[in-house]
Amino acid sequence: MKKVLIITYYWPPSGGPGVQRVLKFAKYLPQFGWQPIVLTVKDGEYPAIDETLERDIPAECKVFKTKSIEPFAVYKFFQKGKKTEKKINTFVMADSKKSLFSKITKFIRANFFIPDARIGWYPFAVKKGREIVKNEGIDLIFSSSPPHSLQLIAQKIAQKTGLPWVADFRDPWSDFFIMSDNYQTNLAQRISRSLELKVLTRTNAFITVSKFLAEKYQSKTQNACWIHNGFDDFHEKKEPSVTFRIKYLGSMSKLQVPENFIRTISKLENIDIDFFGNFDGELEKSMVRHHCTNIRLHGYIPLNQVKAEIKNADLLLLTIPSKNGEGILTGKLFQLLGSGNRILCISNDDNKEIREIITHANIGETFNYQEDVQQFLENEIKNWQIGQIPKPNFDYINQFHRKNLTQKLVGIFEQYIG
């Protein structure tokens, strides 16, 4: 087998969306003649813990872990007065605007830890990465971010070893929507953009998660392409229910709170509505404003439970950030696609790519944050009652299976191996 050094911060037992793209690539790479050799962090600061994901690590995969300096752990110690549990199960996130301490720590993180607070992993990862290349006979380096500081690690290892390097951005770097709330100075922004440009111009190939983002980055690098996120095996028959079941799975920032949906469902009866994940405090405020009492909020659940909840939904809610959300195709979208269940997506008007995917899949509709969704919801409930639910276009959907996407990644790898 050819060998690829995969550099990733998020790796099991890390949970959350950041781990799944790289883990699923690693799962299927051996089937295409590539052995994954993973370099990751030991005892990282993760959004959640999901030990069930370890089942997806293939037997051929070797994993090396190094220590890291984690300034965020110090921040959480002072914020909460004690060491934080690794397993996160709170479902309402704090409103940072109410806390001066949170504003100060955000400013420090944005301006003193560039490009991000994971930069403390750099010296340990570079040293270990060079050892792995020497001892394992690595053919190619693959790095997937965020955190984008690990791209600097990959850049240094590639520079020192002369190996081809493929960089993967799951989220934008300097133009990501969450950066608008980070109080970053102009100087810090210039430094971050400079580091980003060096990565983009020195990597052999650049991959991102959507066509829109790939085209946007083509002004900075000529080697931009895209591989969408995907899903594993779904398409399972759901369990019958006497009530119409609506479910939301995943975190929700204040830029994703769907006022139009909450206003509408507060008027509906005989439906089950469950939200699973971590939510900004603005969600509960919206529920209070619209006297919405029929949404049940739950905490984070592991991926195997996520799949069960997705399978047994009659309608799946997906929200994309309302600000700078162009080209943001979350991994959650493709998980929902794989289920074959109906989707209500709320995004902004500029996100044409997600509208195109949902339309071609014949699996639901996309609305902006100002549009009324009442007619759509009433139609979905009526179709469910009479058993006339539109059939998904699985011929189109199956292109997003993780195995097919890994084959596309291997095609990129092979271009740089002599």
CATH code where residue 217 lies: 3.40.50.2000
> Do the domain assignments include residue 329?
yes
> Do the domain assignments include residue 77?
no
Question: How many structural domains compose the chain?
Answer: 2
> Do the domain assignments include residue 106?
no
**pLDDT tens by residue, 161-184:** 999 999 999 988 887 544 555 677
The verdict on 198 and 306 lying in the same domain is: no
Sign of CA dihedral 35, 39, 42, 45: negative
The verdict on 186 and 311 lying in the same domain is: no
**Cβ within 8 Å of residue 378, ≥6 positions away:** none
The verdict on 149 and 183 lying in the same domain is: yes
> Do the domain assignments include residue 316?
yes
Q: For position 32, what pLDDT does the model report?
A: 98
Task: Quote the Cα angle for 14-110-80, to 5°.
Answer: 60
The verdict on 201 and 343 lying in the same domain is: no
Q: For position 90, what pLDDT does the model report?
A: 43
The verdict on 162 and 287 lying in the same domain is: no
What the block records as the tokens of 292 is 């919405």
The verdict on 261 and 182 lying in the same domain is: no
> Do the domain assignments include residue 108?
no
The verdict on 89 and 146 lying in the same domain is: yes
The verdict on 185 and 307 lying in the same domain is: no
- Residue 13, preceding bond cis, omega within 30 degrees? yes
What is the value of pTM for the model shown? Answer: 0.85
Distance CA 103, CA 118 (A): 19
The verdict on 36 and 131 lying in the same domain is: yes
Q: For position 154, what pLDDT does the model report?
A: 98
Q: For position 326, what pLDDT does the model report?
A: 67
* Environment class of 399 (CB within 10 Å of its CB; exposed 0-12, middle 13-18, buried 19+): exposed
The verdict on 220 and 358 lying in the same domain is: no
The verdict on 252 and 339 lying in the same domain is: yes
238: region left, alpha or beta (phi > 0 left; psi from -120 to 50 alpha):
beta
> Do the domain assignments include residue 237?
no
CB atoms within 10 A of CB 83: 9
Q: For helices 331-339 and 352-361, give the axis angle rounded to 10 degrees.
A: 10
**pLDDT tens by residue, 273-298:** 999 998 999 999 999 999 999 999 99
- Structural domain boundaries enclosing 90: 2-71+85-100+114-230+401-414
> Do the domain assignments include residue 185?
yes
> Do the domain assignments include residue 395?
yes
The verdict on 378 and 410 lying in the same domain is: no
Residues of the chain with pLDDT under 70: 72-99, 176-182, 235, 322-327
Q: For position 219, what pLDDT does the model report?
A: 82
Q: Sheet holding 271-276: strands in order across?
A: 295-298, 271-276, 244-249, 315-319, 342-347, 364-368
Q: For position 86, what pLDDT does the model report?
A: 45
